[in-house]
Amino acid sequence: MGFGGFESIFDTFFGGFGGRARGPPRGQDLRFDAEITLEQAAKGVTLQVEVPRTRLCETCGGSGAQRGTSPKTCSTCQGRGQVQHIQSTGFARMVRIETCSKCRGRGTIIDNPCKTCRGSGATTKSGRIDVRIPAGVDEGYRLRLREQGDVSLEGGRPGDLYVVIHVKPNPEFERDGDDIIHRVEITFPQAALGTEIDVPTIEGTARLKIPPATQNGTIFKLKGKGMPRLDGYGRGDELVRVGVKVPNKLTTKQKQLIQELAKEFGDNTSEKKSFFG
Ligand SMILES: [Zn+2]
Ligand SMILES: [Zn+2]
């Protein structure tokens, strides 16, 4: 596992959850960004994620009041956490509902706050969670772990934990959906006469037969050597793109042989021409 970062997210994350649910507010959702390798994405992996979550304070059980005492019902809102303001303007009667400012919506007042949590009722505690990442995930894949986020201090459901997957770039493989693209270079003699080469795949190496007269840019397909499909049915392919390389440096002998070959082909090369002759 590479890195992990946390941030708190509100209902607006991922475009919202379709309006506010009724009942006490849920705990906050958490987001964890996990970086995995392409091999891990291909096989699936279980990540052990340290999640610092808000939990109920163990000293006071979440009440926020010192042991032996208990929170009092707020006299301003009678424990409802909300107050109504009624305004009459002419014939209209407007009811405005606001969060109680005295208890800040909790409905209770704490005279003797718990020393551990200073009256908040919550502590942040790290906990290890096993997160099973299925085989075939791609960059940006999101996993939702229900109720693994922050606890709700108002008695609602805990928030959810979102794990967002990032797949590290791999120098050997380029991904195209379920397919994997790999580039190899062969020499001109290999391309002209044919050869057999070893190519890396996501699960080891495979033997690839290059037939004679293979053109530059030819793509060979290694069936089923790509990424597994997320739904569990089948796999993509590995596409091997063959490039014919031109050597950077030639020995004198190699140069002579290529010149001879060029003559045989009737090719005009700059080597043949002499600048002054
Ligand atoms: Zn406490
Ligand atoms: Zn109140």
Number of the ligand closest to the Cα of 66? 1
Task: Judge if 27 and 97 occupy the same domain.
Answer: no
Instruction: Order across the sheet with 29-36: list the strands.
Output: 4-9, 29-36, 161-167, 142-145
How far, in Å, is the centroid of ligand 1 from the Cα of 120?
Answer: 7
Task: Judge if 188 and 247 occupy the same domain.
Answer: yes
Task: Judge if 21 and 143 occupy the same domain.
Answer: yes
Return the structure tokens found at 246.
């031109």
Report residues near ion ligand 1: CB below 5 Å. 57, 59-60, 114, 116-117
Cβ neighbour number for residue 218 with a 10 Å cutoff: 16
Residue 81 sits in which domain range? 72-109
Please give the distance of CA 90 from its chain centroid, rounded to a whole number. Answer: 57
Is 79 a domain residue? yes
Task: Judge if 15 and 129 occupy the same domain.
Answer: yes
Number of the ligand closest to the Cα of 107? 2
- Give the pLDDT means over successive 10-residue stretches in the chain (277 positions): 46 42 81 95 94 90 88 91 84 85 87 91 90 95 94 88 95 96 96 97 95 97 96 94 94 93 88 49
Helix (H, G, I), strand (E, B) or coil at 140: coil
Task: Judge if 197 and 247 occupy the same domain.
Answer: yes
Residue 63: its pLDDT value, please? 86
How far, in Å, is the centroid of ligand 1 from the Cα of 12?
Answer: 30
Write the Ramachandran bin of 153: left for phi over 0, alpha for psi from -120 to 50, otherwise beta.
Answer: alpha
Is 277 a domain residue? no
Task: Judge if 212 and 249 occupy the same domain.
Answer: yes
